Structure 1
Amino acid sequence: MNSLNLIKLERKCAVKETQESSHISEHKTQNTMKQMKKEDNRIYRCDLCSYTSPLICNLKRHTQSHTGEKPFECTECKRKFCSKARLKFHMYSHTGNHPYVCSECNRKCASKYALDQHVKTHVGDKPFMCDICGKSFAQKGGLTTHKQIHLDDREFVCTVCDKTFKQKGNLLRHMTTHTGDKPFLCPECGYKCLTNYTLEIHMRVHTGEKPFSCSECEKVFTNQRCLKMHIRIHTGEKPYTCDVCGQRFRTTSNMYKHNRIHTGKKPYECPVCNKSFRAKYNMRVHLESMHPSGPK
């Protein structure tokens, strides 16, 4: 081996030794971070809703539902999504592929998640149990939301009326009842919104845009929340239970309306005769039939 080759070999060895040292150091750092993650039981909370996760990467993905960021685009129809998983789920609406089949009734589902939720309608399975009070839930999301009752001691206080809220987003929405401040204005109809995201959702009323589609029946929706509630029609999921009679509901709003049967609360009052109603719809029907010339 000549001197030139020896110099090259020495240099390669030095580089290799440095790379190995760097790799070992990086490997140790990764192991340390993994160990820290195991020992760190912190929960990351969304300031705008009740979503929680032990992983900050999940929280970052979740916040896209509020910011409206959608970096993943469908090559067929150019519709955009906030995650690869949602894009993949959407693609079934183009291919018609429903590869997941229920062994009980042969119902076909576009995703394993949809199949899992559907199967629970047959077995009544509630695998997610609260370790504090023992209440069980069919979905992990239902358990996560429920645990806020036990775990979330934070209270956001209204400085005007001292009313308290568990979530910052709810406080911000409440504050508009005092300030009337809704800075985002619709250029089409003048409708005022609390956030830019809410305005973007509202604008779809004018544009006709409905970017969220159901993979089961291809019905489309203006926002993700409406799609999520609609999917429960297919899965049969009713995650909200009345504490008094045990009746189950697909949405919290339906459950709250039902609860008024037990509490006797009638929050909607006729502005003409002061008659009270449990539901806003009933009050509107009353106004139209009994006071047709009254306020709308």
Structure 2
Amino acid sequence: MDQSIIEDTMLDQSIDSIEDLKPGYQCRFCPIRFDEREQPQYECDVCHTIFAVKRELSTHLRTHSGEQPHTCTQCGKEFGTRQLLKKHWMWHTGERSHVCKHCNKAFFQKGHLTQHLMIHSGGRPHQCNLCQKTFIFKFDLNRHMKIHAERGYLCQQCGRSFTRQQSLDEHSMKCKTKRLAMVILLRFSMQRLHMAQSLIAQQQQRALAALLARQQTVAHLPAPPAVPSAVQPASPIIPSLFCVLCSKAFPNQPAFTVHMYVCHIQGNNVPVINEQVRWNFDRA
């Protein structure tokens, strides 16, 4: 054979070897090469789900046909896949090979152990995309989503859902009112708070002066006749504090403070102080 022909043949083989070493995939019909090999796709004719492996498509088709070729020899229950039968068989054998390292609780499946570990870690990976509520387990999220499906009217303020638009409208008014009240309370000015503290201090001074005057008046009154101790009535409670805004009397400081905050501070009901306040001892 001619030496030149041999050299050309060896050169062609070397080129082919170099081409084979190049990264990518060679087309069987042309010289074009591709970076990725396209995987064959198998599509379900019923629901159009795509599978990369034909065996997976065959297993999937049983969900539509209802075919369950794998039968439990212990109880006769049928399953569509061998894997489901294997999981079921663990219930008969009692095998729990997946153990939690924190509490030693055992599970049949690794997926159940993974979900259980969320309890120890505090993770809540499953979130509702409607109200942003989070859950540890997927089935809890699915059960929660049914509430939104049945109650299609969602409050944008708090995420609560309702079955009727009227119920949502009524709730929205209350929800907005509550949020507005919280905003107003947070924005309560320090100046207003200082005014309330000044009013309380004035009430204490006026109450003390009135109490001293009352004690002096009682000291000049004749002593009442003695009553046997067995039937001696309890002495009336003399109020020690009174409100100059509405003339109400109070037996102690906590009751007076609550009254000032609820009626005249939180309730935004601060009338002009009347200097001629009546002290009614019959209220005691």
Could you say which TM-score interval applies, normalised by the shorter chain? 0.3 to 0.5
TM-score, reference length from structure 2: 0.38
